[in-house]
Amino acid sequence: MRKFVALSLAVMMLFVMIAAPAAANPVAGKKVAYIMWLAPATIFQMWRDACADLTEALDVDFEFFFCNNDFNLWMDTIRTCAAAGYDGLLISHGNRDGSYVFLKEITEQYPDLKIVAFDTQFYADGQDQKLTGVTQLFQEDKSLVTVLLDEFVEQFGEGARLVKVWRGPNYNSPFDRREVGWQEYEAAGKIVTVGEIQPIADTMESANIVSAAYLQGLNRDDVDGIVAYYDLYGQGLYNALVENDNFNGSRGAALPMSSVDIDPVDITNMLTRPDIWTAAGTTDWTLNGEIAMRLLMLQLAGEYDKIYDPASGQYGVDWVEIPGSAILASSLNPDSTVDDLGEGVAPDTYGNLSYLSVADWMPADLIH
């Protein structure tokens, strides 16, 4: 009899375990959008695709909008989505000076709208600001440049003579945050700024034209390397270097360059000419999109306490930063792709699933 009772209890417990429902999904049926100020570069498409995969797994309606560097279009798109009843918005790359006032107005007009802002600083009245309930997400931008500067300093010593490719101060938040690292290294005497290349537009073509013109007036003996603050700039710069015999290795040593961010084209170029495109300071852009959308999902669920910052190891924060990695051309395998850099090529900071914010209904392996 005791054996029968024990067996019956065991069967009942097994039935309960099998029949127990998965954690309830609090975001099913919600509607969200990803709104990017910039044009649809490959890295931002990687981001978008990760957002789409996660929202599909969570039964969330997802839309995306690229605003092609038009700040007014970016604001209009946010207004339109807010008025249309979207539950949450993942917005990206708002400018430093205008985003705070605009988004403050949006949050006051639509208090139930959840917002996660990537690469968007809130600044007004001469100081940084906060918006209650809005999570700000960044890469550890300063380190994305300093890991590249470290490589040049190691190769050429203190006082490495470098050119940078960017759009100048106050153009966008990530460039300004990257410039902090450059200025610190220059002030410490680790590098010397030889000059700047400033593309007219955020395209490979613009960076190529401007870089090619700049190289015409640059003496190879006066510079050790070039750092591009954005990989589309890097692609244009790379083509300009390859096409110029004074810098491509035809006459003396090739001029090495490196860039922030990474996409399949960058890897191809690094594999083709590792003496020119030597390194990339980056995060995993596919994982970045998932990290961002998970933050928005937790806000929609009201589970702000589960928002995780991998840079500090803290939970329940409204400021999240993603650690960067140095990808060296010399470390790439002949068949390396952006999807497998975490497998023996990049440091363990690349593609690290422990960076994800999770919940019972949104485990780390949900789309992995």
Packing angle of the helix pair 141-156, 173-187 (nearest 10 deg): 40
Q: Check residue 22 and give its pLDDT.
A: 60
- pLDDT digits 0-9 by tens, 157-168: 999 999 999 999
Find the mean pLDDT for residues 80-98.
Answer: 92
Find the mean pLDDT for residues 115-139.
Answer: 93
Distance CA(255)–CA(136), nearest Å, equals 37
Please choose, from the candidates 324, 201, 219, the residue with its C-alpha nearest in 3D space to the C-alpha of residue 262. Answer: 324
Distance CA(36)–CA(118), nearest Å, equals 9
Distance CA(146)–CA(364), nearest Å, equals 30
- pLDDT digits 0-9 by tens, 49-75: 999 999 999 999 999 999 998 999 999
Distance CA(238)–CA(89), nearest Å, equals 35
Alpha-helix runs per DSSP H in the chain: 2-19, 42-57, 71-83, 99-109, 141-156, 173-187, 204-216, 231-242, 264-272, 285-300
Find the mean pLDDT for residues 336-356.
Answer: 88
Residue 3 has pLDDT above 60, yes or no: no
Domains of the chain by start residue, with CATH = 31-139+285-323 (3.40.50.2300), 141-261 (3.40.50.2300)
Q: Check residue 172 and give its pLDDT.
A: 85
Residue 173 has pLDDT above 90, yes or no: no
pTM for this model (two decimals): 0.85
Q: Around Cβ 348, how many Cβ atoms within 10 Å? A: 10
